[in-house]
């Protein structure tokens, strides 16, 4: 009888964990990067390291029913001609005041020094409020707009913290 109870309890626990996982889909519009500083390496034309910040507005999206509002990313870039790679951290502000911190790695293309398109892979470093102790990760596709802002379409999965 103890084995049946144990199996039943474990099944319920695993089922609740699986049900707790969710999917998130968000669209961001990010302004033209600001505060960009670039240093040419001098080894080849067009090779430079740079750092910049981007301010973003959530066009739509939520995580666990908590709507995203805005965000700010600070990123390090390795520019090699028309190809750019890098990494950064993104602070996301939710409509209810919660904040989440993510890390991301990206790659993309540029034309005449202006971003064209790219992709990134992200994961939650530290959740706040409803996501404190939770996990999340996913990917984004990015495309430049004519005004030099960037549109991001992101998707991922999340697991809220255990209660």
Question: Which residue is associated with the tokens 């739509």?
Answer: 60
Q: Which residues pair with 37 in a beta bridge?
A: 51
Answer whether residue 119 is part of any domain: yes
Q: Nearest-CA neighbor of 122 among 50, 48, 28? A: 28
Query: What CATH number is given to the structural domain containing 81?
Result: 2.40.350.10
Domain membership flag for residue 12? no
10 belongs to a structural domain: no
Asked if residue 2 belongs to a domain, the reply is no
Residue 112, CA atoms < 13 Å, CB-side half-sphere: 1
What pTM was computed for the model?
A: 0.84
Token pair recorded at residue 49: 């390291």
Q: Is residue 78 part of a domain?
A: yes
For residue 83, is it within any domain?
yes
* Contact (Cβ atoms closer than 8 angstroms) between residue 41 and residue 18: no
The pLDDT tens digits along the chain (163 residues) read 454 443 334 334 333 344 368 999 999 999 999 989 999 999 999 999 999 999 999 999 998 889 999 999 999 999 999 999 999 999 999 999 999 999 999 999 999 888 999 999 999 999 999 899 999 999 999 999 999 899 999 999 999 887 6
Alpha-carbon span 30 to 62, nearest angstrom: 17
Cα distances from 44 to residues 41, 51, 77, 80, 112, in angstroms, run: 7, 19, 16, 9, 16
- Tell me if 3 is assigned to some domain: no
Q: Which domain holds residue 50?
A: 22-159
Tokens representing 124 are 């939650």
If one counts the domains in the chain, the total is 1
**Among candidate residues 105, 141, 142, 138, the one with its CA nearest the CA of residue 124:** 138
Instruction: For residues 89 and 70, give the distance between their C-alpha atoms in angstroms, rounded to a whole number.
Output: 14
């Amino acid at each position: 009888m103890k084995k049946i109870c144990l199996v039943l309890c474990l099944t319920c626990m695993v089922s609740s964990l699986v049900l707790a996982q969710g999917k998130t889909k968000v669209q961001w519009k990010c302004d033209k990067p600001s505060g960009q500083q670039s240093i040419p390496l001098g080894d080849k034309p067009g090779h430079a390291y740079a750092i910049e910040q981007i301010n973003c507005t959530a066009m739509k999206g939520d995580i666990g029913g908590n709507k995203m509002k805005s965000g700010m990313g600070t990123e390090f870039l390795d520019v090699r001609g028309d190809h750019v790679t890098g990494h950064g951290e993104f602070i996301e502000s939710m409509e209810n005041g919660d904040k989440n911190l993510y890390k991301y790695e990206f790659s993309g293309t540029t034309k005449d020094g202006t971003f064209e398109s790219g992709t990134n892979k992200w994961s939650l470093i530290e959740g706040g409020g409803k996501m404190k102790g939770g996990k999340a990760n996913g990917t984004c596709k990015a495309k430049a707009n004519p005004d030099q802002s960037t549109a991001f379409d992101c998707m991922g999965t999340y697991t809220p913290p255990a209660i």
